[in-house]
């Protein structure tokens, strides 16, 4: 049931549909083999959706493993009462070893040097070794003999529970990228096979795109594909524009703001900083109470649009820190206090983070993670 939100005092806010988040998870699960474990990725505050709220929404569906970026995010979840397994995907300074152990957090081992530093703390940290299969970001060398030797060396010095790698072009349809991904998968499988007698609980390599495109290969799911790290698709967005999402998976947010002022200007008058927009006709200009400090990208100046009353109102002039100006000449009866939609749907028009990302030559991830904390979050 939708919760009524008092919009009379709001300036910029997100309405986050938890039922849609749950629906996205269920649909994704139906599109992968039945017994696949899903690690829900809720780093960057669940891609701007609110990590502890999303975690609580998913634990009710049986999700019992989450992944975050750093120790601060993990501690925040523990403080919010999230008791499930939490994997920290990035580096945590060894000075936090005591806290990692006390909070029962699982730390990624980014290198052998880092493993040695954790051992030196005296705490037997739960951990997963990252294996570098070609992204060259973090992880130990994927040469099977070297990787096997390192993992075995620390198997008893640390509480090694798993290994993983990251597929960097699983979302691409380019033949060279498909070949590269297959090589990553094959390399990771060789490493996993070389330490099979350690019987580690968590062997994972598939992200959202990998889960949709590669999991059903028999040599994948039967060995290294029994776990998927579900990130961007959980929130209803595409890993890449070429990736087709299963039917029913949709964005879960609507970004709304409000009109603070409506005024008429004459042909030839200019609008905003730098006088970059010159009215080509007598116009009606409305001020929207959202700007780049809210995460509304300034590159949309003079080329983006905002939805209002089922119409697309073009952005005119430069987006300001706290406000954006739109031309509502062709929108009937716009008044102070009217609600506008920056991301979402309005009477048949749809514009989500993936659409905005296309206009800005970026990715939906950046759009969602860029929405600032001062944009209030409401859950419906």
- Cβ-contact 21, 246 below 8 angstroms: no
What's the burial of 254, exposed, middle or buried (CB within 10 Å: 0-12/13-18/19+)? Answer: buried
- Cβ-contact 331, 303 below 8 angstroms: no
Query: Per the residue annotation, which of 30, 267, 273, 373 is the catalytic one?
Result: 273
137 is in an annotated binding site: yes
- Cβ-contact 258, 337 below 8 angstroms: yes
C-alpha angle 121-126-130 in degrees, rounded to nearest 5: 100
CB atoms within 10 A of CB 217: 12
Q: Taking each helix axis from N to C terminus, what angle separates 71-79 and 51-59, rounded to the nearest 10 degrees? A: 60
Check if 43 is active-site: yes
What is the DSSP code (8-state) at residue 245?
A: P
Backbone angles phi, psi at 354, to 5 degrees: -65, -40
229 is in an annotated binding site: no
Check if 273 is active-site: yes
What's the burial of 303, exposed, middle or buried (CB within 10 Å: 0-12/13-18/19+)? Answer: exposed
CB atoms within 10 A of CB 309: 16
Distance of alpha carbon 335 from the chain centroid: 35
Query: Per the residue annotation, which of 25, 43, 96, 238 is the catalytic one?
Result: 43
Binding-site residues, in ranges, read 137, 321
Query: Catalytic positions, please?
Result: 43, 273
Binding-site residues for substrate, in ranges, read 137, 321
């Amino acid at each position: 049931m939708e919760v009524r939100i008092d919009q009379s005092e709001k300036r910029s806010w997100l309405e986050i549909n938890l039922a849609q988040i749950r629906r996205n998870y269920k649909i994704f699960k139906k599109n992968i083999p039945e017994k696949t474990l899903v690690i829900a990725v809720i780093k960057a505050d669940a891609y701007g959706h609110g990590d502890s709220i999303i975690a609580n929404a998913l634990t009710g569906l049986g999700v019992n493993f989450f992944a975050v970026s750093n120790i601060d995010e993990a501690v925040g979840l523990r403080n919010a009462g999230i008791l499930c397994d939490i994997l920290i995907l990035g580096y945590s300074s060894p000075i936090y070893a005591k806290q990692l152990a006390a909070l029962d957090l699982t730390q990624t081992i980014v290198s052998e040097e880092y493993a040695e530093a954790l051992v030196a703390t005296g705490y037997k940290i739960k951990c997963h070794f990252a294996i570098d299969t070609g992204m060259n970001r973090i992880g130990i060398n994927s040469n099977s003999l070297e990787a096997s030797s390192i993992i075995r060396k620390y198997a008893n010095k640390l509480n090694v529970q798993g290994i993983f790698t990251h597929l960097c072009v699983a979302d691409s349809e380019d033949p060279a990228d498909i070949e590269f991904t297959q090589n990553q998968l094959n390399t990771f499988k060789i490493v996993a096979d070389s330490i099979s007698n350690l019987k580690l609980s968590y062997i994972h390599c598939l992200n959202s795109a990998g889960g949709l495109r590669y999991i059903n290969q028999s040599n994948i799911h039967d060995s290294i594909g029994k776990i998927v790290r579900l990130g961007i698709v959980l929130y209803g967005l595409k890993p890449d524009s070429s990736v087709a999402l299963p039917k029913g998976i949709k964005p879960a947010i609507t970004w709304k703001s409000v009109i603070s002022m409506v005024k008429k200007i004459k042909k030839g008058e200019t609008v905003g900083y730098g006088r970059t927009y010159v009215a080509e006709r007598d116009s009606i200009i409305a001020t929207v109470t959202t700007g780049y400090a809210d995460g509304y990208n300034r590159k949309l100046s003079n080329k983006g649009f905002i939805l209002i009353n089922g119409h697309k109102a073009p952005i005119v002039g430069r987006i300001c820190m706290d406000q954006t100006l739109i031309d509502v000449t062709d929108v009937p009866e716009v008044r102070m206090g009217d609600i506008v939609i920056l991301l979402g749907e309005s009477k048949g028009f749809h514009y989500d983070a993936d659409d905005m990302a296309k206009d800005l030559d970026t990715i939906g991830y950046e759009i969602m993670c860029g929405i600032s904390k001062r944009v209030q979050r409401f859950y419906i």
